[in-house]
Structure 1
Amino acid sequence: MNDASARPAAPRGAPPSDPPGSLTAITARLDGLPLTRLHLAILAVCTLGLFTDVAEVALSNALAAIFLAPPHSMPRGDLSLLLASVFAGGAVGAPVFGLVGDRFGRRRALQGTLALMAVGSLAAAASSGLTQLTGARVVSGFAIGGFPPLAATYLADVMPPRRRGAMLMLCAGIGFLGASAVILLVQGLAPSPPLGIAPWRWALILGGVLAVIGTILFALLPESPRWLASVGRAEAADRACGRFEDAAGLAPPEGPAG
C-alpha cells in the first residue's frame, strides 16, 4: 500500500493545539525524523558547493605563483590587489547574503551565491587583462564569502539533531579538499595545457561549471521548513516538512480537530 494511512505517523512532540505548519510543530517533526536519503542529498549538494567555494579561494595561491614568474612577472603591488580582491568581496558578501538568506530563504540564497560564483569564475577565465581579472575575482569573492555560513545554517535547519554535528563536519571535511584539488589540477595541467589554454583558466572554467551544477541541484531541494515556519508561511513549511517525512516513510500529522 502506498497511501499515507499505511505509513506510521510522524513523531510530533508538539502540543495538539499547534497546527502542522507552526514553528513549534515543524521543529518537533523535523527533530523526530531519522536520517534519510533526502538529508544525504542535501548534504551532497552543500558539500559540492563548499568544495567549489574552497577551491576558488585556494586558487589565489596558484595565481600568486603563476603571475610572479615569467613571462607575467606582475608587479607585487598589482598582484597584492588581485589576491586581496577575493577576500574584499568575501567580507562584503558574507553579511549581505546572510540578510538575503533571512529575507528570501536559505535555499534561494545558496542558489544565488553559486550562480554569482559561476559568473565570476567564468568571467575571470575569459578575462583579457589585470583589471578584468581583478573585477571578476571581486564578484567571485562576494559569493565565496556568503556560501559557507549559509550552507551551515541550511544544514543545521534540516538535519536530525543527533546527526547534525557529524553532517556539518563531514561537509566541511570533504569541502576543504577543494583546496588541494585545485592546486593539483593546475600543477597537473601545467606541462601540457589542453587546447593551449592556461591551467589557471581551466581551473576557473571547472569551478564555474561546478557552481552551475550546484545551482541547478539546489532547485531540486526543499526550502528549510524551519525558515518557512519562522516567516509565517505555514502551508509551505508543512509541505516542505512533508517531503522529509515522505523520504522517511512517515505520514505527516493531521491538523488539530475543529
Structure 2
Amino acid sequence: MASARPYAEDYQPKSNGSIIEHATTASQSAEISARLDRLPGTRSVWKLIAVLSLGFFFELYDLLFSGYIAPGLVKSGILTATTTGLFGTSGIASFISALFTGLFVGTFACGFLADKFGRRAIFTYSLLWYVAANAMMAFQTTAFGLNAWRFVSGIGIGVELITIGTYMSELAPKHLRGRAFAVCQAIGFSAVPIVAFLSYLLVPLSPFGFDGWRWVALIGGVSALFIWWFRRNLPESPRWLATKGRFEEANAILTKLEAKVARERGGKLPEIGPCDPIVKQASFSDIWKPPYRSRTIMLLIFHVFQTIGFYGFANWVPTLLIKQGINVTHSLLFTSIIALAAPVGPLIGFWIADRFERKHVIMCMAGVNIICGLLFSQVSAAVAIITLGVCLTLAGNIISFTFHTYQQELYPTTIRARAVGFVYSFSRLSAVFTSFLIAFVLKDFGVVGVFVFIAGAMLLVILTIGALGPKTRGKSLDSISH
C-alpha cells in the first residue's frame, strides 16, 4: 500500500527510538483514514448514516417546535406574543431565547465531551438528557418554569448537534461526505412537516384536558427513546479511536465494516489510495493559528448572521403570518404546507452536494433567501405566501446541510467536536439576541422590517463566505487540515 509520510520530522534520525514510534502511530492513523475513504456507498455504509440521521430527526423535532407551538403558549396565557421591553421574560422571545441560551452552553462549553469520551457515548446520553428535560417542560404552568426547562433541554440538544455532525463526517467516506449530510438533513428535516402538522391538529385544542402544545412536546420526547434501541448498530468512530491510540479497536471496527461492504460488492473492495499526511495532536488553541485562524474568524462571523436568516423565519413564521392579518388556524395550516418543503431542500442537495463547492452553494442560497424574504413581506394571497415560504424553506435547509458539512471539514479529528462546538456556539448566542431583536423590530417596524433585517444579515453571510471560505469539495479530511 502506497502511503505518504505522515510528518517529515518523524523521519529525522534520533537515537532514542521515539521518532520511530511516532511515525508508526502516524502511519496507522493515516491508514485508518485511507481505508475509510476508499469504501464505496453500499448498504452497510448508508445504514450507519441512516441511524445517525434518525437521531438528527428527533433533535430537529425538539429544536424547531418552538415556533409551531408558540400560538398555543400565547393562547394558554403562559406567554405573550410580544415582550415588555427589549428583554422581557414573559413573551415568545424569552422562550426561544431560553432554548438558544442552552444551545450556546451545550455547544460552547460541552463540545469537548465528544472529543474526550467518544462520539457514540455522547450521541446517546445527550439525547436522553434533552428528552427528559422536554418532558419536564411539557408540564410547566409558568413562564419561568417553561423557560428554565427549555434552557436545560437546549444544553443536551447543543451537545447532540455537534456530536452528530462530527460523527457523520468521520464515518462517511470523503466521496460521500456531502451526500451523507444531505441524506442526514433530509431525514432530519422531515421532522419539520411532522411537528407542523401535529401543531396544526393539536395546538388549537386540548385533548383530554391537556393543552395541545404539551402533546406536541411530549410526542417528540417519547418517540426519541427509540434511538436507544437503534444505537446498538452504531460503532465508535475509527478515526477518533486512532487519535486516542486505540488502534486495535479501530481496526476491529473497520475490518468488520470492510467485510460487510466486500460481501455487498461481491467480495472485492477498491484499492486503498495514498495516505494523506495527518495532523499531529492538536490543542484547542490551534484554532487561532494558521491555517485554522482565518477559518475560525470566517465561521464566527458566518454563524452570527446565518442564524438571523434561518431562525428568523423558521421560528417566527406562524407569528409573522398572524401579524399580517391571518388567523391562528390558517397561519398554522399555511405553516404546515410550507414545512412540507423542509426535507426537500437536502434531497435537492443530494444531487449537488459533491458536485459544487460548499461555499458557492451557501452564497447562492443566501441570495435566494434575501430575494424571497423581501417579497414574502409584501404579499397576502395564500398562493404567494406558500410559494415564497417554500422557497425560503428550501434555501435555508440547503444552507443548513451545506454548512454542517463544511464546518466539520475545516478542523482536525483531535479537536473537531470542540472547535466546531466553539464556532457553532456563536450561532446559538446570536439566536438568543435575535429572538428579542426580531420581536422588537416586529413590534415597531412590522413584518417588512423583520425581512429587511434578515436580508442585511444574509448579505453579510455572502460577503464573509466569499472572502474567507476555503474550498473543500472531494478532499480528504486530513488534506483539508493542512
State the shift of 1:91 in Å: 0.7
The offset of 1:87, in angstroms, is 0.4
* Contact kept? 1:58, 1:183, Cα under 8 Å: no
- 1:90 touches 1:145 (CA, 8 Å); kept in 2? yes
2:118 pairs, out of 105, 114, 118, with 105
- Structure 1 vs Structure 2: percent identity of aligned residues? 30
The equivalent position to 1:117 in structure 2, one of 130, 143, 146, is 130
| 1:72 aligned residue | 77
The amino acid across from 1:29 in the alignment is R
Return the TM-score normalized by structure 1.
Answer: 0.82
**Residue 209 and residue 242 in structure 1: after superposition, are their counterparts in 2 closer, same or farther (change >3 A)?**
farther
Return the letter of the residue paired with 2:53. T
User: Do the aligned partners of 1:62 and 1:186 also contact (CA within 8 Å) in 2?
Assistant: yes
Matched, 1:34 2:40: yes
Task: Indicate the SS of the match to 2:108.
Answer: helix
Structure 1 residues 126 and 74, CA gap change in structure 2 (3 angstroms): closer
Structure-1 separation of matches of 2:134 and 2:171: 30
For residue 256 of structure 1, what is the aligned residue in structure 2? none
Correspondence for 2:228 among 215, 228, 233? 215
Contact 1:38 1:247 in 2 (8 A): yes
| SS class of match (2:157) | helix
Task: Write the deviation string for residues 170-200 of structure 1: whole angstroms up to 9, x where unpaired.
Answer: 2123312322321211111246554333222
Q: If the length of structure 2 is used for normalisation, what is the TM-score?
A: 0.46
Contact 2:137 2:150 (C-alpha < 8 Å) held by counterparts: yes
Selected match of 1:22 from 25, 28, 33 = 28
The aligned residue for residue 225 of structure 1 is 238
Choose 1 or 2 for highest CA Rg.
2
Out of 187-196 and 40-49, give the one that drifted further.
187-196
The one of 84, 95, 118 equivalent to 2:108 is 95
> CA-to-partner distance for each residue in 1:72-120, whole Å, 9 max, x for gaps?
1634331232221100000110133420011011111211221112111
Distance change >3 Å, CA 167–CA 13, structure 1 → 2: farther
- 2: CA distance between counterparts of 1:37 and 1:126? 42
Q: How many residues align?
A: 239
Distance in 1 (alpha carbons) for counterparts of 2:28 and 2:118: 17
Q: Which of 199, 208, 213 is the equivalent residue of 1:195? A: 208
Greater RCO, 1 or 2 (C-alpha within 8 Å, sep 6+):
1
Cα distance in 1 for residues equivalent to 2:147 and 2:78 = 16
SS in 2 for 1:210: helix
- Deviation per CA, 1:106-136: give whole Å up to 9, x if none: 1112112211121112111233433332221
CA distance in 1, matches of 2:138, 2:78: 19
Aligned to 1:179: 192
Q: Using the alignment, how far apart are the partners of 1:190 and 1:116 within structure 2?
A: 25
SS at match of 1:35: coil
Q: Unpaired segments of 5 or more residues in structure 2? A: 5-22, 270-482
> Deviation at 1:223?
0.3
